[in-house]
Homo-oligomer: A and B are copies of this chain.
Amino acid sequence: MSLKKLFYPKTIAIVGASQNLDSIGGQPIKFLKKYNFQGTVMPVNPKYSEIAGLKCYPSVSSITEEIDVVLVSVAASRVLPIVKECVEKKAHFVVIFSSGFAEMGNHQGQQELIDAVAGTGTRILGPNNQGIVNFIDGIPAGFNPLLDAEVIPKGNIGIVAQSSGLGFAAIGFAIQQRLGISHIATVGNQADINIMELIQFMIEDEHTSIITCIVEGLKPSSNLPELAKLAKQKGKSLVFLKLGRTAVGKKASMSHSGSLAGDSDIFEAFCKQAGIISVKDMEDLIDVLIGLQGKKPGGDRVAVVTETGGSGILAADICEDFHIQTPRLTEETINSLNAILPDFASAQNPVDFTAHIFNQEDLFRNCLVEVVKDSNIDVLLFSFGPTRGKLAEKMADDIIEISKELNKSIFISWLTPEQPFFNKLREANVPLYPTPYRCIRALEHIVRQEIPVKAAEKKATADKKHGDAEVLSLTEYQTKKMLGEYGIAVLRGGLATSLEEAVNLGSQIDYPVVLKVMSPQIAHKTDAGLVILGIKNEQELTDNYNTILERAKKSFPTAAIEGVLVEKMVEKPVAEVILGIKYDITFGPVIIFGLGGIFVEVLGDVARRVLPLTREEALAMLASIKAYPLLNGYRGKPQGNLDALVDMILNLSRFAIEQQDNFKEMDINPVFVMPEGQGVICGDALLIPR
Residues of B within 8 A of A619 (CB): 455
CB distance from A596 to the nearest CB of B (A): 10
Q: Are A592 and B254 in contact (CB under 8 A)?
A: no
Report which residue of A149, A281, A313 has the largest number of chain B beta carbons within 10 angstroms of its beta carbon.
A281
What per-residue 1/0 map shows which CB atoms of A347-361 lie under 8 Å from chain B?
000000000000000
Interchain CB contact under 8 A, A592 and B311: no
Q: State how many angstroms separate the Cβ of A313 from the closest Cβ of chain B.
A: 4
Which DSSP category, helix, strand, loop or mixed, fits chain A's interface?
Answer: mixed
Q: Is A216 in contact with chain B by the CB < 8 A criterion?
A: yes
Verify A165–B316 contact, CB threshold 8 A.
Answer: no
Contact: A586 with B254, CB < 8 Å? no
CA of A34 to CA of B673, assembled, Å: 68
Checking B216, B257, B317, B592 against A592 with a beta-carbon cut-off of 8 angstroms, the contacting residue is B257
Residues of B within 8 A of A455 (CB): 619-620, 622-624, 628
Cα distance, A586 to B195, chains bound together (Å)? 13
> Restricting to A307-324, which residues have a CB under 8 Å from any CB of B?
308-311, 313-314, 316-318, 320-321
Q: Assess A281 versus B436: contact at CB under 8 Å? Given A255-B466, A260-B600, A462-B634.
A: yes
Pick from A330-338, A506-514, A551-559, A664-672 the stretch touching chain B.
Answer: A664-672
Docked Cα-Cα span, A574 to B585, in Å, equals 41
From B221, B252, B254, B265, A585 is in contact (CB under 8 Å) with B221
1/0 per residue A123-136: CB within 8 Å of B?
00000000000000
Distance of A154 from chain B, by nearest CB (Å): 19
* Contact indicator A310/B462 (Cβ below 8 Å): no
What distance in Å separates the Cβ of A117 from its nearest Cβ neighbour in chain B?
25
**Cβ of A546 < 8 Å from any Cβ of B?**
no
Could you tell me the distance between the alpha carbons of A415 and B628 in the complex, rounded to whole angstroms?
39
Nearest B residue to A437, CB-CB: B281
Establish whether residues A175 and B309, one from each chain, have CB atoms under 8 Å apart when the complex forms.
no
A284 B437 Cβ-Cβ under 8 A: yes
Please give me the residue from chain B that is nearest to A465 by CB atom.
B252
B173 touches A417 (CB 8 A): yes
| B221 close to A586 (CB less than 8 A) | yes
Q: Does A572 contact B (CB under 8 A)?
A: no
Q: Mark A481-515, 1 if CB is under 8 A from B, else 0.
A: 00000000000000000000000000000000000
In the assembled complex, the CB of A344 is this many whole angstroms from the nearest CB of chain B, namely 12
Does A669 lie within 8 Å of B256, measured CB to CB?
yes
Contact B580 A256 (CB under 8 A): yes
Chain A 428-457 per-residue mask, 1 if CB under 8 angstroms from chain B, else 0? 000000111110000000000000100100
Q: Do residues B630 and A252 form an inter-chain contact, with CB atoms below 8 A?
A: no
Q: Mark A555-587, 1 if CB is under 8 A from B, else 0.
A: 000000000000000000000001011101111
Alpha-carbon gap, A95 to B62, bound state (A): 85
Cβ of A236 to closest chain B Cβ, rounded Å: 20
Pick the contact of A254: B220, B314, B602, B688 (CB < 8 A). Answer: B688
A211-250 CB mask vs B (1 if < 8 Å, else 0) is 0001010111110110000000000000001011111000
Could you tell me how many residues of chain A have their Cβ less than 8 Å away from some Cβ of chain B?
A: 134
Q: Is A76 an interface residue (CB 8 A)?
A: no
Question: Is A386 touching B169 in the complex (CB atoms < 8 A)?
Answer: yes
Kindly report which residue of chain B lies nearest to residue A245, judged by CB atoms. Answer: B317
Known: A321-B280, A417-B172, A603-B627. A311 touches B166 (CB 8 A): yes
Asked whether A254 lies within 8 Å of B665 as measured between CB atoms, the reply is yes
The smallest beta-carbon distance between A212 and chain B, in angstroms, is 14
| A1 partner residues in chain B, CB cutoff 8 A | none
| Shortest Cβ distance from residue A26 to the other chain B in the assembled complex, whole angstroms | 16
**Counting CB contacts under 8 A, is A50 at the interface?**
no
Contact between B603 and A603 (Cβ–Cβ < 8 Å)? yes
Give Cα distance in the complex from A666 to B163, angstroms.
36
Q: Does A263 sit at the interface, judged by CB under 8 A?
A: yes
In the bound assembly, the distance between CA atoms of A320 and B245 in angstroms comes to 9
B166 touches A458 (CB 8 A): no
Bound complex: CA of A549 vs CA of B634, how far in Å? 28
Q: Cβ of A75 < 8 Å from any Cβ of B?
A: no
The reply to whether B590 and A261 contact each other, CB–CB distance below 8 Å, is yes
Least Cβ distance of A591 to chain B in Å?
8
Surface stretch bound by B, among A4-12, A39-47, A83-91, A605-613: A605-613
Once A255-B688, A265-B608, A270-B610 are accepted as A-B contacts, the answer to whether A283 and B629 lie under 8 Å apart by CB is: no
| A220 contacts B317, C-beta separation under 8 Å | no
Any chain B CB within 8 A of the CB of A601? yes
Contact partners of A389 in chain B: CB under 8 A: 145
In the complex formed, the residue of B with least CB distance to A259 is B466
Closest chain B CB from A69 CB (angstroms): 24
Q: Chain B's nearest CB lies how many Å from the CB of A144?
A: 8
Q: Which residues of B contact A269 (CB under 8 A)?
A: 590, 607-610
Which chain B positions have C-beta within 8 A of A145?
388-389
Q: Pick the contact of A688: B258, B387, B665 (CB < 8 A).
A: B258
A603 to B630, CA, bound (A): 10
A268 CA to B257 CA, complexed, in Å: 35
Q: How far is the CA of A604 from the CA of B265 in the complex (A)?
A: 11
* Contact of B610 with A598 in the complex, beta carbons under 8 Å: no
14 of the cross-chain contacts (CB-CB < 8 Å) are: A163-B309, A165-B385, A166-B311, A166-B314, A172-B415, A243-B310, A252-B465, A255-B582, A257-B665, A259-B466, A265-B606, A269-B609, A598-B634, A602-B629
Query: Which A residues are closer than 8 A to B by beta carbons?
Result: 104, 144-146, 149, 162-163, 165-166, 168-169, 172-173, 175-176, 214, 216, 218-222, 224-225, 241, 243-247, 252-261, 263, 265-270, 273-274, 280-284, 308-311, 313-314, 316-318, 320-321, 343, 385-389, 415-417, 434-438, 452, 455, 458-459, 462-467, 469, 578, 580-582, 584-588, 590, 592, 594, 598, 600-610, 617, 619-620, 622-624, 626-630, 632, 634, 664-667, 669, 686, 688
Additional A-B contact list (10), CB under 8 Å, known A165-B415, A265-B608, A459-B628? A169-B311, A247-B317, A254-B466, A255-B466, A256-B601, A261-B590, A268-B608, A462-B629, A462-B634, A603-B626
